[in-house]
Amino acid sequence: MTDALTLLIEQHKKDIWEWQQKESKWLEDRVLLEGNKQIIKELSTKLITMKKRAQEAEGENTIIKGIGNNSPEMKALKAKVNELQGTLGSAQDINDNHQRYNGKLQTRITELEEDNKKLSEQITDYIKKHHDSIRRAGM
């Protein structure tokens, strides 16, 4: 009887340790998700700013057309517009990548939450089933 009880207690400890490992991974994923959310928020703000700058540059480009397409000012503005469009494209790509990654993290968090709930139910059922023997063991 004592050996069986010891075995049950050891199994219970192992189950708790495994559950704690899964919870640790879930917390790590949660931190990554929050960090990525912050990055997306910052990139979105920068993206809006860049769009406004690109629109302003195009507006200036229209004004300068009256001066001439081959003027130094016009060439500088065209270069700036191209630079801003390239930067905007890069920011949009990064934003898309982060959104995909956040989707994967959110899916993983949902899976881990479901696993944690199942483990918690298993532990509760185990404790209910073995309550008397655990209590006799002094736990």
pLDDT, tens digit (0-9, with 9 covering 90-100), for 30-52: 888 888 889 888 888 988 898 88
Whole-angstrom distance, CA of residue 116 vs CA of residue 95: 31
Tell me how far CA of residue 99 lies from CA of 33, 86, 92, in angstroms. 10, 20, 10
Both tokens of 109, joined, read 């968090």
Q: What is the pLDDT of residue 134?
A: 67
Both tokens of 111, joined, read 């899976």
Band (pLDDT 50/70/90 cuts) for residue 11 is very high
Q: What is the pLDDT of residue 12?
A: 92
- Whether pTM > 0.75 for this model: the answer is no
